Homo-oligomer: A and B are copies of this chain.
Amino acid sequence: MHDIRTLEFSNGSLQLIDQRKLPLSRELYICSTYEEVEFAIRDMVVRGAPAIGATAAYGVYLAAAAYQEFPHEAFFSKLREACHVLIKARPTAVNLRWAVRRMLALAESSSALTPPQIAERLLAEAKAIQQEDVDTNRRMGSHGNTLIPPKANILTHCNTGTLATAGWGTALGVVRSAVEAGKEVFIYADETRPRLQGGRLTAWELVQEGIPAKLIADSTAAFLMQQGKIDLIVVGADRIASNGDTSNKIGTYMLSVLAKEHGVPFYVVAPVSTIDYEIECGGESPIEERSREELSHVGTCQIAPDGIEVYNPAFDITPHSYISAIVTEYGVARPPFTQSLATFQS
């Protein structure tokens, strides 16, 4: 059932499903340089915190390959510069920084080798990051599945599926694992304005796999909960502070407040690489503001009048007190999260 390849490295270049073009056409976006990788992340050819991490890892390799004929010192100087550029492509997702740092650390610990040898190691490491992400998602799916009743109406936000990861998905991976376990789930996918990742990407994945689902406007979620039609909510995360405060796609905080008001369990699903143990609470997370055009236009259609200003934050912060549990590859963390998440720290 599952043949979506979000990112694939072959013949010296990285092939990404161009998520800007979905769901109307399935096109590949090819990156042969780290600059193209940086653009792909920044322009959201690829999005979703884990997918961005794996993509950026290949970006570090592509930089190393490009500079491998440079003298040793110049090679490292260029490589560090490329890492810096890649990390800046999106400010909120912590996996991006995590993956780039892991790649750079490997390069630095291999400094006795020649640049071509280092590049070779970096390619293997990028492949490992990609494969580990799939394995991690599978494990999150198994742990998360323990939270899903045999029959459940599940609300999802944004896209947290195969397209957001190297494969399977985080929150939508839990849904996949529940389906695989034979559970009778029905998905309400909110469309997730402004970039419509729910309507464009999650809906596309659900249709591809024949999982029963309905698409809703973001503001319909409250009405569904009021009617008792939502049994639980699963969302992903772009950055989790050590106390459990979660930065995720704008609208996540809204859902968490609504969940609390209606007694609906609210689960965050994310790999441990998403946890930023360097920050204590969500207020320290940077929040990316994106362009006016995301609200004033949909595709080529202008929908808002000339002259209106917009406020367009890409993320919000859900305080830990609104979160029922955080599902990672190491298990399900329950409040108090400062303690339960600390047990996952390597």
Which of B193, B204, B221, B254 contacts A191, CB < 8 Å? B193
- Let me know if A222 and B257 touch, CB within 8 A: yes
Which of B23, B214, B218, B250 contacts A305, CB < 8 Å? B23
Interchain nearest-CB distance for A98 vs B (Å): 25
- Let me know if B215 and A218 touch, CB within 8 A: no
Instruction: For A300, list chain B residues within 8 Å (CB).
Output: 301
Instruction: For A215, list chain B residues within 8 Å (CB).
Output: 295-296, 304, 308-311
Instruction: For A169, list chain B residues within 8 Å (CB).
Output: none
Mark out the residues of chain A between 296 and 334 whose CB falls within 8 Å of any chain B CB in the assembled complex. 296, 298-313, 316-317
Q: Name the CB-closest residue of B to A207.
A: B307
Mark out the residues of chain A between 175 and 215 whose CB falls within 8 Å of any chain B CB in the assembled complex. 188-189, 191-194, 196, 199-200, 203-204, 206-207, 213-215
- Let me know if A188 and B311 touch, CB within 8 A: yes
A344 within 8 A of B: no
CA distance A308 to B204 in the complex (A): 8
A220 within 8 A of B: yes
- Let me know if B188 and A223 touch, CB within 8 A: no
Instruction: For A206, list chain B residues within 8 Å (CB).
Output: 308
Pick the most buried of A226, A260, A301, A308: most chain B CB atoms within 10 A of its CB: A308
A45 within 8 A of B: no
Interchain nearest-CB distance for A275 vs B (Å): 22
A104 within 8 A of B: no
Interchain nearest-CB distance for A118 vs B (Å): 43
A223-B254 contact, Cβ under 8 Å, with A214-B311, A311-B216: yes
A217 within 8 A of B: yes
Instruction: For A189, list chain B residues within 8 Å (CB).
Output: 308
Pick the most buried of A217, A219, A298, A316: most chain B CB atoms within 10 A of its CB: A219
A258 within 8 A of B: yes
- Let me know if A220 and B309 touch, CB within 8 A: no
A23-B196 contact, Cβ under 8 Å, with A188-B311, A218-B219: no
- Let me know if B305 and A219 touch, CB within 8 A: no
A1 within 8 A of B: no
- Let me know if B191 and A309 touch, CB within 8 A: no
Instruction: For A191, list chain B residues within 8 Å (CB).
Output: 193, 295, 303-304
A253 within 8 A of B: yes
Interchain nearest-CB distance for A285 vs B (Å): 13
A199-B303 contact, Cβ under 8 Å, with A220-B250, A250-B219, A295-B215: yes
A303-B194 contact, Cβ under 8 Å, with A222-B316, A250-B217, A254-B254: no
CA distance A302 to B23 in the complex (A): 9
A112 within 8 A of B: no
Mark out the residues of chain A between 211 and 248 whose CB falls within 8 Å of any chain B CB in the assembled complex. 213-224, 226
28 sample A-B contacts, Cβ–Cβ < 8 Å, listed by A number: A22-B305, A24-B302, A191-B304, A193-B217, A193-B218, A199-B303, A199-B304, A207-B306, A215-B295, A215-B296, A215-B308, A216-B312, A219-B219, A220-B250, A220-B312, A221-B254, A222-B253, A223-B253, A226-B316, A254-B254, A254-B258, A257-B261, A258-B258, A260-B261, A298-B303, A299-B301, A299-B303, A300-B301
A residues lining the B interface (CB < 8 Å): 22-24, 188-189, 191-194, 196, 199-200, 203-204, 206-207, 213-224, 226, 250-251, 253-254, 257-258, 260-261, 295-296, 298-313, 316-317
